[in-house]
Structure 1
Amino acid sequence: MKSIKKLNIMIAVLGVLVSCTENFDELNTNPRDITEEELEVDFQHIGSLYKPIFENIYKYDPASSYQLQQNLNADVYSGYMTPPRPFIAGANNTTYNLVGGWNNTIWSVPYSNVMNNVETIEELAKDEYPTFYAVSLILKVAAMHRVSDIFGPIVYTNFGDLEKAGVYDSQEEAYHAFFADLDTGVANLMEDLDSSRFTAFDLSYGGDYSQWVKLANSLRLRLAIRISKIDPATAKAEGEKALNHPLGVIETNGDGFFVNSAVSHPLQTIDNSWGDIRMNAFMESVLSGFNDPRAGAYFLEVNPGDSDTEPIVPGALKGVRGGMPLLSGYADELDQKGDYIRFAVINDNIHQTSVQLMTAAEVYFLKAEAALRGWSGAGDARANYEMGITTSFEQRGIGGVSTYMADNVSTPADYKDPVNPSNNIAATSDITIAWNDADNNETKLEKIITQKWIAVFPDGQEAWSEFRRTGYPRIFPVVSNQSAGTVDTEIQIRRIPFVDNERSTNPEGVKDAVTKLGGPDNGGTRLWWDTGGPNF
């Protein structure tokens, strides 16, 4: 009997073990884990890839990444900002002694976080969820045209191709690919415009696909204007496609392209916490000369209650000349920081978590130029110019726009440095504000671009690109040019050389890219669309 009982017990145990083995996956799965099937129910397997794309068109966190990706190049070259101290004893990007270790970030951030994720979205959604794919294409163009506008040729159409992954497109080829991707994006969205699938993942428009179509059209118009001097036929065709689309372009401040991230804007850290950026002297020249009411919305005196950072000239917004070397009389750069740190700081209103990438004001100025160029659907140049200014004032909550637009006397002001008079410089333009139909197109263009430059602050990348394309506004040259002759001081820097990481990992690709660049791989070589200005 005992042996039979033991046998029965062993059989029972074996039965339990078999049962456990059969249900092993179920019993040993953490109930808090999410399966692939569960992810697919609410599109998380695709949607989770978008947040890194939104937040890395330029990188918000950590602030040091944004500082290297945009702030210590485009934000400075645009005439918006400049460091109040000379990093690396003044031999750095701001003085055209380009720092390879800094500039790697400009390339690596969008490739790692935008292009990689867009490629994965394409694999998951291109056929089955075409509207998800559409948004990824629009975001890709928004990010990567900025990269091309810094370097020229980029890896775009061949990205992810195992055989041709390191092959660069010329900038002309890249721009045509941008337009093609926008075509696909708009067509896909128009097929399912009322879908709400993207709502949970949208950091800009709450899942409203009609707004994404307006953004795509507006980006198309931006890129069309960018190539209007080098390829006027393509520019006109693409611009008119955007202007005459049934859903149109961005028209109100509510339509603007902003990324609503939980991460604080990196300028808040770079400016307020680190004291590494201040108002540029050229910005002072324009805003003070025009008596521009937006000046106080953009910049403030440093906190006068802090004895270490008392305003250098109380009651005035003072800017710092760009490209200053380490001045004589200072033991090191930290000593010099004591004077220029007291110049104007960026207003906290700019340091919002909603990061600006394209505004309604910019689009009106694009339309104003399109009207000058005779593109259908652009409307009237003057009406668009004045709407651009008006919309910019409204965006910043500023009054007095009618008085401002009627001013046909005020011009940019001479600049005086209260620390070192050798940095003084006369105003570089006598352009005024009020529109005058009798002006020639070149004068009208200078007014349009100058006001666009004011309106798109703090996006130094777009401002620098338009300066290179048109020559406007007439930004002050650097104080010290340490480029060893590769960059002309008056013409100013035109691009960033291909980065060290690419040179070491993709040498043949870079070699081919230089041939497509059409000039030496340095900061003085013009990009494809950069034909030299002023020249309407």
Structure 2
Amino acid sequence: MKKLLFILIAGVIVLNSCTDDFEDANINPYQISQESLRQDHNDIGSFYPKMLANIFGHQIEENLIAESFCNYMATPTPFVSGVNNTTYSITWNTYWERIYNSLMAPAQQAMNTAQEQGEQVFNEWAKLIRILGISRLTTYHGPLIYSTYGEAESRYDSEEQLYTALFADLDDIQEVFAANLEYEGIKNFDDVYEGKIAKWAKIVNSMRLRLAIRISKVAPALAKAQGEKAIADAAGLITSSGDDFYIPLYGSQIYLAVITGWDDTRMSAAMESILVGLKDARIAQFFEAVSDESLVADHPEFPYKGVRAGGRMEAKSDHLPYSKMNPAIAGWEERPYLTSSEVYFDLAEAALRGWEGAGDAQANYEAGVRASFAQWGASGVDAYLADATSTPINYNDVVYDALDDGTVNDFVTRSTVTVAWNEAASNEEKLEKIITQKWIAAFTNPNEPWADFRRTGYPKLPHVYNNLSNADWGIIPADEWIKRMPFVQDQRITNAAAIETVEQTMNGTDLISTRLWWDTEAKDEVNF
């Protein structure tokens, strides 16, 4: 009996000893603990590559919307029998889902986690990446869900409210960044600047300047205040190639290389008109020369041929011999979002508007052109900047010369712009030079050029030849261009009341003919 009691007591002691270390004994030695994740910031940092990767879109979000509307590229493919976005019959509209599902949602998770742990820099970094995406999406639709995003009853911000909120968030971000310039916690997740907060602080100022320029016609006082704040901030702007903001492709090919591989995109006719006319050496870095000399009989020294965006397309094979992307683009590992060339062009416009600290308009303009030539590895910039005679050329769609009256897709250029700066010219003429060169320099990043075109009317692009706009989406007159993308269908169905409310702040209803807040139609001269 005593022996049995001893065995029972010993068993209880052993059991108690085992349960003391039960939790440790049951931890998977091959699994990273939550505590370890937190110590290395992996529980927050893992969100950032996905957010950055989804700032840009792909074929539908960019190539068949902004890229077509700003006339960088054009499709040779008669999608849906030619009745599609490019001809102003809205067929695809998905950028909203990308930004909200793959950027805003993970950004909110990252911010929540960062706030719980008191990680201010991570919180503001996520906030900045949200701005990078939202500031693009608003140029598509106008009002967006931003200041109340994630709340039980989220609402649309009017565009005026949205820009006010973006500027306020940039204030908060810059304050935290300025106080944490030596912080290295984001290094393992930052494939752009390797964790250098000072570099991200330049992004804050350069974004503030971009947004200030965008609203400069509709809200000149606010734009001037924000632009001057960006220029004066101690962190500085992106004014050298070493600070240029490129977003990694994370192992993917740039969308233009993929779509070119499908033979669904070609150089645009507007690119041919402007780049060939101005004898621009960057054309060889952008595009591939054609092999059929008959396509370029009017300019054999520049053997590049473009497709008219929004043109009449009979068969895909008709325009496949026209200029493709330069094959070198398939090897890109990153894509430009905001570079020194754009910042210099923004400073040039700011100087025209009399913003303090902006410097000299001509000096900034020429610095922007030089930065772009250097970015693309093009030569001959000095002769290019001195050219006061070359102008854009007329366009002839050669393969359709025998179709109907022989003028299908042809256009007479609307632009007489030259490259050389003319100090005696009007501010409006100077603005046309600035925006035309800014348009060329931003190639592969069509969002801001499309916004600039609607805001200023420059460069002077051709109208859509095959305009199939209709009452369902909004009628675009023959002498006008699309103004915006409608809200996505899911929002139209599930959030109709919110759209109806925010329409009262817009220049019209939810149609492609409704001008955005900053697209005032007024001649810019009144604001100089």
The question of whether the paired residues in 2 share the 8 Å contact of 1:86 and 1:324 is answered with: no
1:57–1:142 CA contact under 8 A, matched in 2: yes
Alignment counterpart, residue 308 of structure 2, candidates 321, 335, 345: 321
Residues 19 and 509 of structure 1, relative CA distance in 2, 3 Å threshold: farther
Question: Residue 87 of structure 1 aligns with which residue?
Answer: 79
| 1:381 maps onto 2:367 in alignment | no
Q: Distance in 1 between matches of 2:305 and 2:232?
A: 44
1:252 aligns with 2:211: no
Structure 1 residue 12, shift from structure 2 partner: 6.7
Q: Secondary structure at the match of 1:504?
A: helix
- C-alpha distance in structure 2 between counterparts of 1:10 and 1:461, whole Å: 77
Of residues 17-26 and 194-203 in structure 1, the stretch that sits farther from structure 2 once superposed is: 17-26
Q: Say whether 1:358 aligns with 2:338.
A: yes
Select which of 274, 279, 285 maps to 1:291: 279
Match runs of 1:85-124 below 5 Å: 85-99=77-91, 102-103=92-93, 105-124=94-113
C-alpha distance in 1 between matches for 2:313 and 2:271: 22
Contact 1:468/1:533 (CA < 8 Å) preserved in 2?
A: no
Q: How many residues align?
A: 509
Are the structure 2 counterparts of residues 262 and 118 from structure 1 closer, same or farther at C-alpha, using a change threshold of 3 Å?
A: closer
8 A contact 1:54–1:203 mirrored in 2:
no
Structure 2: distance between partners of 1:151 and 1:46: 30
Contact 1:301 1:311 in 2 (8 A): no
Aligned residue number for residue 340 of structure 1: 319
Q: CA deviation at 1:8?
A: 7.2
Note the C-alpha offset of 1:96.
0.5
Determine the C-alpha separation between the residues in 1 that align with 2:426 and 2:413.
Answer: 22
Q: 2:145 is matched with which residue?
A: 155
Match status 1:187 vs 2:185 = no
- Show the counterpart of 1:330: none
Partner of 1:72, secondary structure, is helix
Pick which of 411-420 and 380-389 moved more.
411-420
Determine the structure 1 residue equivalent to 2:114: 125
Which residue identity lines up with residue 89 of structure 1 in the other structure?
A: S
Residue in structure 2 matched with residue 333 of structure 1 by the alignment: none
- Structure 2: tracts of 5 or more residues without a match: 402-407
Deviation at 1:253, TM superposition (A): 1.3
Q: CA deviation at 1:24?
A: 4.2
* Structure 1 residue 311, shift from structure 2 partner: 8.0
- Report the Cα distance in structure 2 between the residues aligned to 1:430 and 1:17, rounded to whole angstroms: 91
Query: Counterpart of 1:177?
Result: 165
Give how far 1:266 is off.
3.3
SS at match of 1:419: helix
**Aligned residue for 1:33?**
31
SS in 1 for 2:76: coil
For the structure 1 residues 17 and 311, does the alpha-carbon distance in structure 2 shift closer, same or farther, using more than 3 Å as the test?
Answer: farther
> Residue 397 of structure 1 corresponds to which residue in structure 2?
377
Gap change, CA 1:193 and 1:5, over 3 Å in 2? same
How many angstroms apart in 1 are the aligned matches of 2:371 and 2:84? 37
How far residue 203 of structure 1 moved from its aligned partner, in angstroms, is: 2.1
C-alpha displacement at 1:6, in angstroms? 8.1
The residue that corresponds to 1:481 in the other structure is: 467
1:411-422 aligned at under 5 Å gives the runs 411-421=391-401, 422=408
Confirm whether residue 522 of structure 1 aligns to residue 511 of structure 2.
yes
Is 1:471 matched up with 2:457?
yes
Identity within the alignment, % = 41
| Equivalent position SS for 1:258 | strand
Is the 2:260–2:266 Cα contact (8 Å) retained in structure 1? no
Q: TM-score, normalised by structure 2?
A: 0.92
Conserved? CA contact 2:257–2:325, under 8 Å: no
**Residue from 205, 218, 224 that aligns with 2:212:** 224
Whole-Å separation in 1 of the counterparts to 2:175 and 2:411: 51
Q: Structure 1 length normalisation: TM-score?
A: 0.91
Offset at 1:424?
A: 1.3
The question of whether the paired residues in 2 share the 8 Å contact of 1:471 and 1:533 is answered with: no
CA distance in 1, matches of 2:491, 2:294: 43
Offset at residue 516 of structure 1 (A): 2.4
Change (3 A) 1:392 1:133: same
Q: In the superposition, relative to structure 1, how do residues 12 and 508 fare at CA in structure 2: closer, same or farther (>3 Å)?
A: farther
Deviation of 1:355 (Å)? 1.2
Q: Distance in 2 between matches of 1:416 and 1:12?
A: 98
Name the CA distance, whole Å, in 2 between partners of 1:87 and 1:533.
35
